Amino acid sequence: MTQETIIEHGRSQKNYWAEFWKSTELFWILAKRDITVRYKQTALGVVWSVVRPVLTSAILFFAFGKVAGLPFEEGVPPKLATFAGVLIWQFFANSLSQVSHSIVGNSNLVSKVYFPRLILPTSSVMVGFVDFLVGFALVIPMYLYYFFKQGFLPSWQLLFIPIFLAMAYLAAFGFGLLLSVMNVRYRDFAQLTPFIIQFGFYACPVAYSPINIENESWYPIYNLNPIVGIIDGFRWTLMGGHAPFRWESFIPSVIIISVVVFTSVAFFRKRENSFVDYI
């Protein structure tokens, strides 16, 4: 039986999701493109994926740990805790900027071929994910160092890493999708995104622990930032039980991310057929 497609104004294809899943090959090849192109004509290549989080962590450890003297929880290796925060934050921040740029950055495709547009933002995250994996490999030597130094051992919490990765992905995807759609009409949002990321860097516990602020009256409001829950949780998975699991940031994070993902996908679906008229 031949497939029948009906093209009409505002009609969302009944088989949209089927088509989306059928485009997995396109998903992978676009991801592969972004990854291959990433370090073309660089001498250090993928080493950059290690250098960036390491240098960032070093300077943060210096500024927040040494200069400001902000403590982490009892028994938590501070360098490792800073590195964990930087890793997951950079994954989120890179993904957010990739997703928000994904439609405008691929305008040559959007204006010339049809495919489920949702493929672009979903696949654009893969670059950041590869960066994350490469950087994450450094956790192993750090574990060895802290084991010999103070007998530190990670534990079963490690099994929960994928949950927080998925949350970071979904948060970047949800917020990035809103930005990507608005970016098609108003490039103002392309200016806004780096600012949000810079702002968020200090508003989230990337280089410090919430232990420093948990007694403040505004701490519940602070936890409404969904990224706080992700960073707290990710740090918890790596610390072998020395960092507390913070339900107070985890629950708002899950709720807010779910709401944002659903609304942003709906918003995107509603607008995607007219992207080409404004891009």
Partner 1 sequence: MNAIQVENISKRYFIDHQKKHGGPSGLKESLINGIQSLFGSKPKEATHSEKEEFWALKDVSFDVAQGDRIGIVGHNGAGKSTMLKVLSRITEPTTGRVTVRGRIASLLEVGTGFHQELTGRENIFLNGAILGMKQAEIKQHFDEIVSFAGIEKFLDTPVKRYSSGMFVRLGFAIAAHLEPEILIIDEVLAVGDAEFQRKCLGKMKDVSDSGRTILFVSHNLTAVQSLCNRAVFMNRGQMVAVGETGQIITDYMSKINQTSLIREWLTPEQAPGNDQVRIRKIELIPQFEVGQTRIDVRTPVKLRFEFWNFVKNAKLNLSMHFNSMTGETIFNLASPQIDANPGLITGEVDLPGNFLNDGTYTITMMIVKDASTVLYHLQESVMFEIDDYRGGVEWYGKWPGSVRPYFPFTIEQSEEVNV
**Please, which residue, 80 or 127, has the CB nearer to partner 1?**
127
Other C-beta atoms within 10 Å of 80: how many? 23
Q: Which residues of the shown chain bind partner 1 in the complex (CB under 8 A)? A: 2-11, 25-26, 29-30, 33, 36-37, 40-41, 106, 108-115, 186, 188, 273-274, 276-277
CB of 21 to partner 1, least distance (A): 14
Other C-beta atoms within 10 Å of 226: how many? 26
CB of 121 to partner 1, least distance (A): 16
**Please, which residue, 25 or 74, has the CB nearer to partner 1?**
25
Amino acid, single-letter form, for residue 85? G
**Please, which residue, 119 or 243, has the CB nearer to partner 1?**
119
Determine phi and psi for 4, rounding to 5 degrees. Answer: -115, 130
∠ Cα 203 205 46 (to 5°): 100
Amino acid, single-letter form, for residue 170? L
CB of 38 to partner 1, least distance (A): 10
Determine phi and psi for 276, rounding to 5 degrees. Answer: -65, -25
d(CA 26, CA 122): 11
CB of 108 to partner 1, least distance (A): 6
> Do residues 252 and 167 lie in contact, with contact meaning Cβ atoms separated by under 8 Å?
no
> Do residues 242 and 157 lie in contact, with contact meaning Cβ atoms separated by under 8 Å?
no
CB of 5 to partner 1, least distance (A): 4
CB of 87 to partner 1, least distance (A): 27
**Please, which residue, 110 or 243, has the CB nearer to partner 1?**
110
State the angle between helix axes of 48-60 and 126-136 in degrees (0 to 180), rounded to the nearest 10: 70
What tokens were used for 243? 């960092």
**Please, which residue, 119 or 207, has the CB nearer to partner 1?**
119
**Please, which residue, 110 or 257, has the CB nearer to partner 1?**
110
